[in-house]
């Protein structure tokens, strides 16, 4: 029996080594068993035309089913895969984009089986920029015996920018409240501007300086005219 096993031993060992080598190579290439997963892949917008605004964006993520070797598919969620949408040439209004498996850049040896939804829509508007008056907002009352005058903003006007439908109806921009409760002297405070809509942006620094004059009541009583006493 032993002699039979030793017969052509080098050839048998070589055959065993070759079979083992081929098994390792094949499994390394395929990663073992196939695996299929579903991932939420984010949609990223590129090349938005100048002077255009996205007023209604697409869904943030799409459900993508991907299959392939287990060792590769198991790591896909950590690869930062995205679906790019090229907006170059897009026009004002609603635009629909079809999503195809080739739009998802997955590793080699993997396959995109399904994308849901298979199309996404977004709405674009022209950008509008306007100069508006700043309206200071004052809260509270000065100390007893003192009165507050009209607040003044510096600068008195600011530039805003945003989608045409959001900017066109606006006439002014309010400030964050300036608190004068218990004040006995003029209040001067740097405050932020309150954006009327999250799509509307302030051009430049979104801050103004508001001055609220506070005067003593006695200072506002005009002096008596000569000869008027006793009348």
- If the chain, 231 residues long, is cut into consecutive pieces of 10 residues, what is the mean pLDDT of each piece? 56 65 53 79 90 87 90 84 89 91 88 91 94 96 94 96 94 95 95 92 94 85 49 39
State residue 227's pLDDT score.
45
- Smallest CA-to-CA distance from 83 within 102, 109, 108 is with 102
Whole-structure pTM value? 0.65
Per DSSP, 30 falls in state: H
Give the CATH number, domain containing residue 176: 2.170.120.40
Helix (H) or strand (E) holding 68: strand 61-69
Is residue 113 domain-shared with residue 132, that is, in the same domain? no
State residue 28's pLDDT score.
54
Is residue 137 domain-shared with residue 211, that is, in the same domain? yes
User: Does any domain span residue 229?
Assistant: no
Is residue 139 domain-shared with residue 216, that is, in the same domain? yes
Contacts of 220 (CB under 8 A, 6+ apart): 147
Domain edge (last residue) among 68, 93, 117: 117
User: CB of 77 within 8 A of CB of 39?
Assistant: yes
Each residue of 85-123: pLDDT tens digit?
999 888 899 989 999 998 888 888 888 999 999 999 999
Is residue 191 domain-shared with residue 142, that is, in the same domain? yes
State residue 78's pLDDT score.
81
Report d(CA 152, CA 214) in Å as an integer. 12
Domain edge (last residue) among 85, 117, 149: 117
User: Does any domain span residue 1?
Assistant: no
Is residue 137 domain-shared with residue 216, that is, in the same domain? yes
Is residue 111 domain-shared with residue 135, that is, in the same domain? no
Is residue 43 domain-shared with residue 109, that is, in the same domain? yes
User: Does any domain span residue 18?
Assistant: no
State residue 34's pLDDT score.
85
Is residue 139 domain-shared with residue 69, that is, in the same domain? no
Is residue 109 domain-shared with residue 141, that is, in the same domain? no
User: Does any domain span residue 146?
Assistant: yes
Count structural domains, the chain. Answer: 2
User: Does any domain span residue 225?
Assistant: no
* Structural domain harbouring 59: 32-117
Is residue 100 domain-shared with residue 141, that is, in the same domain? no
User: Does any domain span residue 16?
Assistant: no
Is residue 40 domain-shared with residue 98, that is, in the same domain? yes
User: Does any domain span residue 86?
Assistant: yes
Cα-atom radius of gyration of the chain, to the nearest Å?
A: 36
State residue 7's pLDDT score.
59
User: Does any domain span residue 19?
Assistant: no
Report d(CA 67, CA 61) in Å as an integer. 19
State residue 156's pLDDT score.
96
Is residue 110 domain-shared with residue 71, that is, in the same domain? yes
Report d(CA 70, CA 29) in Å as an integer. 11
């Amino acid at each position: 029996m032993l002699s039979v096993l030793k017969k052509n031993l080098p050839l048998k060992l070589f055959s065993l080594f070759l079979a083992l080598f081929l098994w390792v190579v094949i499994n390394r290439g395929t990663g073992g068993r196939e695996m299929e997963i579903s991932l939420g892949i984010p949609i990223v917008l590129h090349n938005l035309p100048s002077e255009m605004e996205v007023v209604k964006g697409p869904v943030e993520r799409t459900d993508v089913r991907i299959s392939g070797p287990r060792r590769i598919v198991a790591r896909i969620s950590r690869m930062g895969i995205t679906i790019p949408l090229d907006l170059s040439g897009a026009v004002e209004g609603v635009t629909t984009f079809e999503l195809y498996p080739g739009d998802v850049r997955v590793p080699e040896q993997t396959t995109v089986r399904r994308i849901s939804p298979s199309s996404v829509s977004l709405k674009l508007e022209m950008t509008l920029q306007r100069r508006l008056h700043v309206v200071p907002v004052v809260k509270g009352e000065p100390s007893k015996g003192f009165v507050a005058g009209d607040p003044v903003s510096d600068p008195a006007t600011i530039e805003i920018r945003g989608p045409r439908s959001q900017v066109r109806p606006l006439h002014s921009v309010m400030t964050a409240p300036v608190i004068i409760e218990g004040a006995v002297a003029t209040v001067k405070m740097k405050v932020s501007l309150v954006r009327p809509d999250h799509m509307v942006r302030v051009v430049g620094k979104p801050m103004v300086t508001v001055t609220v004059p506070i005067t003593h009541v006695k200072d506002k009583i005009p002096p008596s005219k000569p000869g008027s006493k006793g009348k």
